[in-house]
């Protein structure tokens, strides 16, 4: 080994020893040489942050940004070896990121990493980011179809690797600790139908119907005439085949159609929006809620199920994107934007709705995304055959990151029940005891 290489390796060893004293983590750093450097005194060595080449470290030192880290993880030049991000988070030690930065010996870190500034570390893209333009407003040319297809048209086979048999890709509802994902998704579909008080013969609309799980469940178990719309071709094909297989085409229809183009006022008794509102964009909220109000009959019920971020002191601060959020919209959900639960309620009331119930499901979604992560990790080799390793690695990070965000209350999710407001009685029972039977 050349003297310069020896010095670089010695510097990394000293830095790892310093980090181990700070982190006390049950993790190891694995170098391109195969050498493992423990990041805690009792590190077992089964979970390793693996640096495949010195060029990966060079890229990080030259451009120490979150997007660099994501690209390195997507390409496999940097790898979480032995488990998912959830496993690493559970064993990372007790110190948080800010605490680590304060206590870090920055001179030692600089001496260890500076030699890699001059290495060979040519940047390259994994090719997994959304490449098209993203306008904020529909009237400015926002193409929701392209944005939705980027996320959902990876292939139905890919989603089958981690979803339940009914392909429900929204927060499940776990009545108890023994409930499986499949059972929890059925419980969720039924809870939605009960909250909407679906009755036989009613006209029911599912905005962003996905693979058809809710419209089929509502028609089969509540006797409604259900209609769903989606912009994803793969979802549409799956839902059409499912409707035909179940023999319910007389009660369920699905269209490959933008919800804004639905043009029959007051044509639905009940409407559900389950996990699609996040794709609308804050600048399009007025048009969205106006359309929901226009489509719903007087005193018809609307269930608004969406992820929300905690509020900030002002909208400028709220809409400022943190690096991890920017990465999510670049690699996973282009055009996605979360509001606050308060913003949703304000919009509902401002657009002629009366709000009746708001229920938080944060911990249900933490568990849902955890199971999805475990399922995809178990099937990661099949996933790579379908969409490639870069996309598979990114999705494992995305699902695990979502689970950690819900676990840490960085985001929440709420089901809000509202009706199209008119004078007089709401028509709802005086209590909600029947919902939780």
Which residue in the list 171, 209, 216, 402 is annotated as catalytic?
402
CA atoms within 13 A on the CB side of 403: 22
CB neighbours of residue 214 within 10 Å: 24
402 tagged catalytic:
yes
Q: What secondary structure does DSSP assign to 88-122, as a single string?
A: HHHTS-S--HHHHHHHS-HHHHHHHHGGGGGS---
Q: What secondary structure does DSSP assign to 348-384, as a single string?
A: HHHTTEEEEEEEE-HHHHHHHHHHHHHHHHHTHHHHH
Q: Is 415 helix (H, G, I), strand (E, B) or coil?
A: strand
* Closest C-alpha to 197, from 170, 224, 220: 224
CA atoms within 13 A on the CB side of 379: 17
* Closest C-alpha to 136, from 319, 399, 395, 14: 319
What is the C-alpha separation between 411 and 403, in angstroms, rounded? 10
What is the C-alpha separation between 373 and 365, in angstroms, rounded? 12
Angle at which helix 341-350 crosses helix 285-295, to 10 degrees, equals: 50
Q: Order of strands, edge to edge, in the sheet holding 48-51?
A: 36-38, 28-30, 48-51, 78-81
Task: Say what the alpha-carbon torsion angle 425, 428, 430, 435 is, to the nearest 10 degrees.
Answer: -170
What is the C-alpha separation between 264 and 135, in angstroms, rounded? 28
What is the C-alpha separation between 11 and 88, in angstroms, rounded? 24
Report the chain's terminal Cα–Cα distance, integer Å: 70
What is the C-alpha separation between 84 and 369, in angstroms, rounded? 12
Residues serving a catalytic function are 402
């Amino acid at each position: 080994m050349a003297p310069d290489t020896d010095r670089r390796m010695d510097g990394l060893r000293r830095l790892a020893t310093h980090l181990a004293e700070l982190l006390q983590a049950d993790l190891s750093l694995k170098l391109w040489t195969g050498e493992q450097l423990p990041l805690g005194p009792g590190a077992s060595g089964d979970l390793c942050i693996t640096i495949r080449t010195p060029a990966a470290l060079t890229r990080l030192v030259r451009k120490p940004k979150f997007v660099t880290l994501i690209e390195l993880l997507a390409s496999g030049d940097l790898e979480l070896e032995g488990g998912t991000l959830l496993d690493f988070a559970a064993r990372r030690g007790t110190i948080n990121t800010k605490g680590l930065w304060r206590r870090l010996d920055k001179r030692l870190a600089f001496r260890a990493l500076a030699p890699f500034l001059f290495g060979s570390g040519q940047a390259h893209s994994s090719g997994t980011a959304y490449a098209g333009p993203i306008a904020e407003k529909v009237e400015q040319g926002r193409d929701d179809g392209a944005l939705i297809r980027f996320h959902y048209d990876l292939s139905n086979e890919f989603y089958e690797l981690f979803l339940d048999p009914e392909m429900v890709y929204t927060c499940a509802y776990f009545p108890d600790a023994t409930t499986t994902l499949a059972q929890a998704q059925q419980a969720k579909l039924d809870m939605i139908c009960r909250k909407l008080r679906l009755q036989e013969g009613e006209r029911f609309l599912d905005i962003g119907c996905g693979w058809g799980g809710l419209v089929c469940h509502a028609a089969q178990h509540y006797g409604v005439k259900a209609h769903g719309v989606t912009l994803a071709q793969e979802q549409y094909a799956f839902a059409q085949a499912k409707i035909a297989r179940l023999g319910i085409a007389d009660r369920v229809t699905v269209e490959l159609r933008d919800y804004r183009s639905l043009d029959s006022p007051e044509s639905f008794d009940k409407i559900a929006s389950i996990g699609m509102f996040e794709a609308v964009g804050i600048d399009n909220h007025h048009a969205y809620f106006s359309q929901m109000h226009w489509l719903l009959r007087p005193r018809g019920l609307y269930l608004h199920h969406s992820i929300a971020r905690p509020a900030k002191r002002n909208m400028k601060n709220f809409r400022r994107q943190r690096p991890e959020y920017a990465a999510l919209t670049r690699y996973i959900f282009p055009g996605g934007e979360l509001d606050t639960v308060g913003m949703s309620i304000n919009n509902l009331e401002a657009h002629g709705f009366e709000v009746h119930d708001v229920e938080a499901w944060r911990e249900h979604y933490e568990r849902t995304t955890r199971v999805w992560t475990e399922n995809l990790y178990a099937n990661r080799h099949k996933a790579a055959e379908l969409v490639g390793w870069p996309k598979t690695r990114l999705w494992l990070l995305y699902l695990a990151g979502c689970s950690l965000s819900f676990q840490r209350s960085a985001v929440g999710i709420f089901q809000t029940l509202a009706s199209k407001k008119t004078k007089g009685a709401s028509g709802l029972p005086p209590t909600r005891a029947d919902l939780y039977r």
